[in-house]
Amino acid sequence: SYVLTQPPSVSVAPGQTARITCGGNNIGRKSVQWYQQKPGQAPVLVVYDDSDRPSGIPERFSGSNSGNTATLTISRVEAGDEADYYCQVWDSRTDHFIFGGGTKLTVL
């Protein structure tokens, strides 16, 4: 089955840029989504189809996807961005959702 690999943690100072990666075999050929989950809350979609943002998501959140790595980039990081972030792809052969293991973003 298809596996998505994320770093367990990423740390960044306020105002800097955070990059969270999601690795998978030829992931560049798939559509990648990113979800933000703050403590005690439900996940929220922040990027879909590699780089599109739902309405209400700040432009500071952007995504890219190529080769074997997809990346969520958060510019001008704020304390409120501290959360767990999960990548997700769709397995069209089985109609299953596949999630990465999640990355905890810490704002120093």
Partner 1 sequence: EVLLVESGGGLVQPGGSLRLSCAASGFTFSSYRMTWVRQAPGKGLEWVASIKQDGSVQYYVDSVKGRFTISRDNAKNSLYLQMNSLRDEDTAVYYCARDKCVGDCYLDYWGQGTLATVSS
Binding track, positions 38-77, relative to partner 1; x by CB under 8 A? ---xxxxx--xx----x-----------------------
C-beta closer to partner 1: residue 15 or 52: 52
At residue 29, the 3 state secondary structure works out as helix
Which residue bears the tokens 């990666």?
Answer: 21
Q: Kindly state whether residue 79 participates in binding partner 1, applying the rule CB under 8 A.
A: no
2 binds partner 1 (CB under 8 A): no
Contact status: 7 vs partner 1 (CB under 8 A)? no
* DSSP state letters, 39-74: TTS--EEEEBTTTB--TTS-TTEEEEEETTEEEEEE
Radius of gyration (Cα) for the chain, nearest Å? 13
Farthest CA pair distance, the chain: 41
Instruction: Reduce the DSSP state of residue 83 to 3 states and report it.
Output: strand
- Which residue number, 21 or 84, has a Cβ lying nearer to partner 1? 84
Would you tell me which residues interact with partner 1 (CB under 8 A)? 30-31, 33, 35, 37, 41-45, 48-49, 54, 84, 86, 88-90, 92, 94-102
